């Protein structure tokens, strides 16, 4: 008689408790110091947990470690964030990518003011009702800030759990997601009082020891190596299976950096939807198949073709786009600017605007 798969994956609570204990011992000596880890897990400032966890979505911790302090310095409280303009929030998010997160975080701060008297709710259901907060981020706030025994599963946790179990599956697939949350909930139930530290330990182990391909996991120093099925069967590297590759779209972008007296330049705002939505940039023309010609670029800005001088060229890659930038540079007098080019800023004011990394790099290189 075949085993019921649900029964076959059942774990004795005593084994789960031992696993939790092992991880907690390991975390005590191996947690990396990060700006959002200023208090023990379960007793952190909910606002700092909210901001850092939204930043950490799809973003490496080392990157967040650099940019979080600047953000918290400017917006030290949920009231300060709610009172800010969206433009300024985007400026402080510049360089982090996935800029919709910044808008939703801003909206979440305002929602907390309106609905919860400026407090961040403790209930996971209420948390998930806030913009930009899903199952993972809601669990992280409930657990790491409020100390509740809530499970949480991010990419690191899913990978660790899959390898422990020797369970194949494609990262991020619905089936893997379902199973990971169920397993994480079982483990949290095995030691509800230690849930926050346990959650953090699982994520930290995944980030530093049980690393994703192509980095080889450091199984020889893993606190869970004795009970890891993937290690026993030599499958650590092949679990989880890679996601099917996505198609890459190429875009040809022609950017014209206008230089005015006093080291000033002209910027424009991108459309509210799509790539780099609502962010600022030097005037840019985008095409599907080729760069526009020097004449086309000059005509679009009502300049003489002779006033354009070649600048740097480089390719900017994102997950599913390749943007080939061709840069032109033109010195112009303020009185000769076309009407559509009305936002003139000093080079040293560009930090006050939300710019993509690509535009930041272009403007920095041309304006010095």
For the CB of residue 346, give the shortest distance to DNA in the complex, in Å.
22
Residues that bind DNA (CB under 7 A): 57-60, 62-63, 95-101, 104, 131-138, 154-156, 158-159, 171-172, 174, 212-216, 240, 242-243, 245, 273-277, 316-320, 356-358
> Is there a contact between 249 and 274 (Cβ–Cβ < 8 Å)?
no
Nearest distance, CB of residue 190 and DNA, angstroms: 22
In the complex with DNA, which residue's Cβ is closer, 263 or 314?
A: 314
CA distances to 52, 294, 344 from 333, rounded to whole Å, are 44, 20, 12
By three-state DSSP, how is residue 249 classified?
strand
Minimum CB–partner distance for residue 148 and DNA (Å): 16
Structure tokens at 269: 């705002």
Report CA dihedral (280, 284, 288, 293) to the nearest 10 degrees: -170
Q: Which is nearer to DNA, 131 or 227 (CB)?
A: 131
Task: Dig out the tokens for 29 from the structure.
Answer: 């000596």
Task: From the candidates 53, 150, 165, 200, give the one annotated as an active-site residue.
Answer: 53
* Residue 315 to residue 36: CA distance in whole angstroms: 34
DSSP 202-243: HHHHHHHTSPPTTSPP-GGG-TTGGG-HHHHTT-GGGSSBPP
Q: How far is the CB of 100 from DNA (least distance, A)?
A: 6
Q: Is 288 a catalytic residue?
A: no
Nearer CB in complex with DNA: 21/169: 169
| Beta carbon nearer to DNA, 156 or 254 | 156
SS3 (DSSP) at 36: coil
Q: What is the largest CA-CA distance in the chain?
A: 86
Closer Cβ to DNA, 202 or 298, answer by number: 202
CB of 140 or CB of 330, closer to DNA? 140
The helix, strand and coil proportions of the chain, stated in percent and rounded to the nearest 5, come to 50, 15, 35
What CA–CA distance (Å, rounded) separates 167 from 11? 14
User: Shortest distance, CB of residue 183 to DNA, whole angstroms?
Assistant: 15
Q: How far apart are CA 46 and CA 145, in angstroms?
A: 5
CB of 339 to DNA, least distance (A): 28
Contact in structure between 182 and 161 (CB atoms under 8 Å): no
CA distance 59 to 62: 9
Q: Which sequence positions are flagged as catalytic? A: 53
């Amino acid at each position: 008689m075949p085993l019921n798969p649900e029964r076959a994956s059942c774990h004795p609570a005593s084994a789960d408790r031992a696993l939790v204990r092992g991880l907690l011992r390991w975390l005590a000596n191996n947690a990396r110091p990060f700006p959002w880890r200023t208090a023990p897990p379960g007793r952190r400032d909910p606002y700092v947990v909210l901001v850092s966890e939204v930043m950490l979505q799809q973003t490496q911790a080392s990157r967040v470690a650099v940019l979080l302090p600047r953000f918290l310095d400017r917006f030290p409280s949920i009231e300060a964030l709610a009172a800010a303009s969206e433009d300024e929030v985007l400026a402080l998010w510049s360089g982090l990518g996935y800029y919709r997160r910044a808008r939703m975080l801003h909206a979440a701060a305002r929602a907390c003011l309106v609905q919860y008297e400026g407090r961040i709710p403790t209930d996971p259901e209420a948390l998930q009702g806030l913009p930009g907060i899903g199952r993972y981020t809601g669990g992280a706030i409930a657990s790491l800030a409020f100390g509740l025994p809530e499970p949480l599963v991010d990419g690191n946790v899913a990978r660790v759990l899959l390898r422990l179990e020797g369970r194949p599956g494609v990262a991020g697939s619905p089936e893997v997601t379902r199973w990971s949350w169920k397993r994480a909930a079982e483990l949290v139930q095995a030691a509800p009082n230690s849930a926050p530290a346990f959650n953090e330990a699982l994520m930290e182990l995944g980030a530093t020891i049980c690393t994703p391909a192509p980095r080889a996991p450091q199984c020889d120093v893993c606190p869970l190596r004795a009970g890891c099925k993937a290690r026993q069967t030599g499958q650590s590297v092949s679990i989880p299976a890679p996601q099917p590759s996505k198609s890459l779209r190429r875009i040809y972008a022609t950017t014209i950096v206008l230089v005015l007296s006093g080291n000033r330049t002209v910027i424009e705002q991108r459309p509210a939807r799509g790539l780099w939505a609502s962010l600022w940039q030097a005037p840019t023309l985008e095409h599907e198949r080729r760069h526009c010609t020097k004449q086309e670029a000059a005509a679009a800005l009502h300049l003489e073709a002779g006033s354009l001088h070649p600048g740097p060229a480089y390719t900017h890659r994102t997950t599913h786009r390749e943007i080939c930038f061709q840069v032109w540079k033109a010195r112009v007098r303020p009185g000769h600017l076309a009407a559509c080019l009305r936002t003139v800023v000093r080079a040293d004011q560009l930090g006050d605007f939300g710019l993509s990394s690509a535009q930041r790099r272009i403007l920095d290189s041309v304006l010095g």
